[in-house]
Amino acid sequence: MFNHELMVTILNYFAIVFIFIIGILALVIIITYFLDIFQSKQAIRRNYPVIGHFRYMFEHIGTFFRQYFFSADREELPFNRAERSWVYRAAKNLSNTVAFGSTRDLKPVGSVFFVNCPFPTLADAAAEPEPVIIGSDCRQPYCAHSILNISGMSYGAISKPAVLALSKGAKKAGCWLNTGEGGLSPYHLRGGADIVFQIGTAKYGVRDDAGNLSDDKLRNIARHEQVKMFEIKMSQGAKPGKGGILPGNKVTEEIAQIRGIPQGIDSISPNRHPDINSIDDLLDMIERVRNVTGKPVGFKIVLGSYDWLDELFNAINQRGQQSAPDFITLDSADGGTGAAPMSLIDYVGLPISESLPLLIDALNRHALRSRIKVIASGKLINPANVAWALCVGADFISSARGFMFALGCIQALQCNKNTCPTGITTHKKNLQKGLDVNIKSERVKNFVENLVHEVCIISHSVGVHSPRELRRIHARIVQHTGFSVPLNEVYPDIVAQPAADNISHLKQQD
């Protein structure tokens, strides 16, 4: 017989259990919500409480199902998962060792690898990278200690907490921080880092009411002891031939005041300096800024055509080497952090893999290599990238996107909008709250230290004592035949002289 009362009892029991489970789940969700919004270690969880946890769950599950549903570790662009993961782990000071062999394909043309020697440098014989003096003839030369430095990202393009975290992190790591073209903000200075002030085509921060370069404002900037150098931006990797673009929704009242522009209106810089129309104008501008500030001055470019380099270096030698820029920052044509037309990002300019050897060799041909320091920039975010640039001849490396990853960037591709989910490139307070300045500044420091440490490991493997001793003979590049040749055979124009001739231990060897 059907027992109606028993069935009702059972249903009531299941209803109570169900309500209890729902109550527990609701309580867990509420607790998780409050834990997420009050924690400061992970920006995604703080900005997107509860649902932010799914990102990490899916990322973990993806390691098991990636071959069926997801792209491989080295397939994504502009930075693949392997590249991003290395930076994330380095920034968090986690181990970057891997198991079961490399997933990197060594066969494609252009692949670079380093030639280990039979007797690597022992740990007790290794040396830290030596500092390099930039602008030794200036009234206030700069002794730069760090191989890796922070490239130009303006306050406006990135947020207040991002600038603060970079400034504090740069101070801890002993590297410099480039302001980008948006002027010098209080947040660049607050962390105590060395500063490179960038003069963009709109001359934000050093312009008069008519938009022209102001000597008085240059002096005011130079009075800050933290400001060590001035960089004249001729072009940048994201948009060669076009000026900076800051959407109006990111031009806040404070940013407008710092730049000297109207609030809420798109900030569009000229596509070049209106007062630099020739090589002579460029050298005159460098000399003017150096005389006014007393500090090293250089310029930033993306190489496209390069025959003008010979004209530039001939003009320098005719005027005298004292007229030379103290440094050249060479950017790569494969994009950057800023907003830019896709046609420029994809199709204009030379990548750093081609332009850096061209620049170094041109400097050597004109006997200017020891006078002008070279800063290489453009997707150089891993130890092998940095070691390659040092082999080719760079003195320093600067990176923007590498440090964005260190801050927690997830490559959401929202940099040109005001909706960055990690708070790095947005001025929305509800999104910025997830970016904890103290924690992220520590990750900036960790990224610098761990990257330089692994560059040292590569250096010791090839048999030198310090990364600054790396030369082209220490790396090989795969050719169309499928076989590799040393870099010094592909680019034979190199002159046998130290890239940074004022490094003490290299002087002694000479």
**Contacts of 422 by beta carbon, 8 Å cutoff, 6+ apart:** 43, 44, 47, 407, 408, 409, 410, 412, 431, 434, 435
Least confident range of 199-213, 264-278, 320-334, 496-510? 496-510
- Long-range CB contact pairs, 315-322, < 8 A, 24+: 315/279, 315/280, 315/283, 316/283, 316/366, 316/368, 317/366, 317/367, 317/368, 319/283, 321/368, 321/371, 322/137
Q: What CA–CA distance (Å, rounded) separates 19 from 15?
A: 6
Tokens of 398: 């600067």
Coil, strand or helix at 19? helix
Helix (H) or strand (E) holding 199, with range, is strand 194-199
Task: Kindly report, residue by residue over 29-57, the tens digit of the pLDDT.
Answer: 899 888 888 888 888 888 888 888 777 77
Tokens of 338: 């800023």
Q: Report the mean per-residue pLDDT for the chain.
A: 86
Please report the pLDDT score of residue 406 as a whole number.
92
Q: Write the CA distances from 492 to 12, 65, 384, 392, integer angstroms.
A: 86, 47, 21, 11
Please report the pLDDT score of residue 73 as a whole number.
63
Residue 379 pLDDT level (bands cut at 50, 70, 90)? confident
Q: Which of 399, 316, 305, 315 is nearest to 359 (CA)?
A: 305
Q: What CA–CA distance (Å, rounded) separates 61 from 57?
A: 6
The sign one gets for the Cα dihedral 385, 387, 388, 394 is positive
The type of residue at 498 is P
pLDDT at 503 over 60: no
Please report the pLDDT score of residue 507 as a whole number.
38
Tokens of 482: 């499928």
Please report the pLDDT score of residue 291 as a whole number.
97
- Strands 132-134 and 142-144 come out as antiparallel
Please report the pLDDT score of residue 236 as a whole number.
79
Mark out the alpha helices in 294-326 (DSSP H runs): 308-319
Order of strands across the sheet with 475-478?
Answer: 112-114, 475-478, 484-486
Maximum mean pLDDT: which of 94-103, 133-142, 326-335, 411-420: 133-142
Please report the pLDDT score of residue 213 as a whole number.
94
Residues paired with residue 133 on neighbouring β-strands, in sequence order: 143
Please report the pLDDT score of residue 69 as a whole number.
53
Task: Kindly report, residue by residue over 48-88, the tens digit of the pLDDT.
Answer: 888 887 777 776 666 555 544 555 565 666 777 778 888 98
Residue 339 pLDDT level (bands cut at 50, 70, 90)? low
b (16+ CB within 10 A) / e for 114-147: beeeeebbeeeeebebbbbbbbeebeebbebebb
What mean pLDDT do residues 433-447 have? 92
Task: Kindly report, residue by residue over 100-126, the tens digit of the pLDDT.
Answer: 777 777 888 888 999 999 999 987 777
Residues paired with residue 253 on neighbouring β-strands, in sequence order: none
Report yes or no: 414 and 425 within 8 Å, Cβ to Cβ.
yes
pLDDT at 267 over 80: no
- Strands 267-268 and 297-302 come out as unpaired
Coil, strand or helix at 315? helix
**Contacts of 441 by beta carbon, 8 Å cutoff, 6+ apart:** 164, 165, 166, 167, 168, 169, 172, 191
Q: Can you point out the beta strands (E) in 59-155?
A: 112-114, 132-134, 142-144, 148-150
- Locus of tokens 């129309």: 277
* DSSP, residue by residue, 139-164: SS-EEE--SEEEPP--BTTB-HHHHH
Residue 10 pLDDT level (bands cut at 50, 70, 90)? confident
Percentage of residues of the chain with pLDDT beyond 90: 50
